[in-house]
Amino acid sequence: MDVARAIALRINHKRDLFDYDDLIGGDKYVTEDIPHFVTIPTTAGTGSEVGRSAIISEDSSKKKRILFSPKLMAKIVFADPLLTMELPPFITAATGMDALTHNMEAYLAKNYHPMCDGIALEGIALIADSLEIATHNPNVDSRAKMLLASLMGAVAFQKGLGIVHSLAHPLSSLLDTHHGLANAVNLPYGMQFNYEGFENRFDKMADAFGLRTKAGNRVVEYLFEMNDKLGMPTKLSEIDVKQEHIKELSDLAEADFCHPNNPKPVTREDFKTLYQKAL
Ligand SMILES: [Fe+2]
């Protein structure tokens, strides 16, 4: 869907594609009409169907570039769970963990946006209710909940994302790791980093997960267990990350666009420590 959006942008905009990168103010060049287009998601994860950007990894710099404009929002979205019924367990789990990461990071992101917060918490609850079933015994109900939670995550993360996506992006650009898988492995570690100082927010997420009241301190453990139940790895070494990758991964993570919205600041050293811990 991101590629389709880039193609739609290209029809009436002829500059070099990366000139439109939002991070260097390129959205100001999106001045012409974008042809009518609809989006039809066939996985429940990115939520790109309701997005307004095309995120493309640049070969030379290994960085994610963001082509963004409100004009890049689809005119119609067809979100039909029947189209996701045949997804194999790995793709279901990995994309589902991406959706979960969106909702959790959006909920914690430092900008003030109670509407996004509410959407994110309900997205978390829907995923807690359905991801395991959708992965191992899919039915229309679990697929529908996942599709909605994915779309809700993408709406909520207009508020911002955070440390987990900054840990995950370099794995994809450097080692070609599946985006959802990269998030799944890093999610518990990133949340562990964020917990202190944000205990109240973790308590609210624990409620959404259906854990005990005021069980924010159980969230990280719950995420490890969730990865286990979904057949996702819990260590970076299980997805071919090696000690010698950590320096470059940390450089790329520091340069990533997501962590400035993390509820607490993240340094290059923090990224290094987290990769090391997750290895
Ligand atoms: Fe994501």
How far away, in angstroms, is 195 Cα from ligand 1 center?
Answer: 20
CATH code, domain carrying 190: 1.20.1090.10
Q: What is the mean pLDDT of residues 36-50?
A: 96
Question: Is the model's pLDDT at 136 over the cut of 90?
Answer: yes
How far away, in angstroms, is 217 Cα from ligand 1 center?
Answer: 24
Residues 35 and 100 in one domain: no
Residues 161 and 254 in one domain: yes
Of 77, 93, 111, the one marking the end of a domain is 77
How far away, in angstroms, is 199 Cα from ligand 1 center?
Answer: 24
Question: How many domains are there within the chain?
Answer: 2
The whole domain housing 129 covers 81-278
How far away, in angstroms, is 253 Cα from ligand 1 center?
Answer: 14
Residues 66 and 85 in one domain: no
List the one residue out of 155, 157, 159, 224 whose CA is nearest residue 186. 224
Question: Is the model's pLDDT at 213 over the cut of 90?
Answer: no
How far away, in angstroms, is 140 Cα from ligand 1 center?
Answer: 24
How far away, in angstroms, is 49 Cα from ligand 1 center?
Answer: 13
Read off the pLDDT of residues 159-207 as tens digits, 9 standing for 90 and up. 999 999 999 999 998 999 999 999 999 999 999 999 999 999 999 999 9
How far away, in angstroms, is 180 Cα from ligand 1 center?
Answer: 7
List the one residue out of 253, 243, 147, 248 whose CA is nearest residue 190. 253
Residues 157 and 195 in one domain: yes
Of 45, 77, 109, the one marking the end of a domain is 77
Residues 211 and 149 in one domain: yes
Distance in angstroms (rounded) separating the CA atoms of residues 115 and 92: 27
- Residue 163 CA: distances (Å) to CA of 11, 108, 191: 35, 10, 8
Question: Is the model's pLDDT at 62 over the cut of 80?
Answer: no
Residues 147 and 234 in one domain: yes
Distance in angstroms (rounded) separating the CA atoms of residues 184 and 227: 7
How far away, in angstroms, is 96 Cα from ligand 1 center?
Answer: 10
How far away, in angstroms, is 188 Cα from ligand 1 center?
Answer: 15
> Long-range CB contacts (< 8 A, 24+ apart) of 202-209?
204/107, 204/121, 205/104, 205/107, 205/121, 205/124, 207/121, 208/121, 208/122, 208/124, 208/125, 208/128, 209/124, 209/125, 209/128
Q: What is the mean pLDDT of residues 58-68?
A: 85
**Helix and strand element counts for the chain (H, E):** 10, 4
How far away, in angstroms, is 47 Cα from ligand 1 center?
Answer: 8
List the one residue out of 98, 109, 54, 51 whose CA is nearest residue 260. 109
How far away, in angstroms, is 99 Cα from ligand 1 center?
Answer: 7
Q: What is the mean pLDDT of residues 246-269?
A: 96
The reported pLDDT for the residue numbered 63 is 79
How far away, in angstroms, is 89 Cα from ligand 1 center?
Answer: 18
The reported pLDDT for the residue numbered 57 is 83
Read off the pLDDT of residues 77-121 as tens digits, 9 standing for 90 and up. 999 999 999 999 999 999 999 999 999 999 999 989 999 999 999
How far away, in angstroms, is 179 Cα from ligand 1 center?
Answer: 7
Residues 145 and 199 in one domain: yes
Distance in angstroms (rounded) separating the CA atoms of residues 76 and 48: 13
The residue ranking higher by pLDDT, 22 or 222, is 222
Residues 182 and 49 in one domain: no
Residues 69 and 102 in one domain: no
The reported pLDDT for the residue numbered 23 is 87
Q: Is the whole model's pTM more than 0.85, yes or no?
A: yes
Assign 123 to helix, strand or coil: helix
* 236 secondary structure, DSSP code: G
How far away, in angstroms, is 236 Cα from ligand 1 center?
Answer: 17
State the pLDDT confidence band at 258, using cuts at 50, 70 and 90. Answer: very high
Residues 15 and 64 in one domain: yes
Query: Which residues are paired to 202 by β-bridges?
Result: none
Question: Is the model's pLDDT at 233 over the cut of 80?
Answer: yes
244 by Cβ neighbours in 10 Å (0-12 / 13-18 / 19+) ranks as exposed
Residues 133 and 231 in one domain: yes
Tokens of 118: 């509410």
Q: What is the dihedral of CA 56, 165, 254, 68, to 10 degrees?
A: 40
How far away, in angstroms, is 261 Cα from ligand 1 center?
Answer: 14
CB 181, CB 87: distance < 8 Å = no
Of 77, 112, 132, the one marking the end of a domain is 77
Residues 220 and 107 in one domain: yes
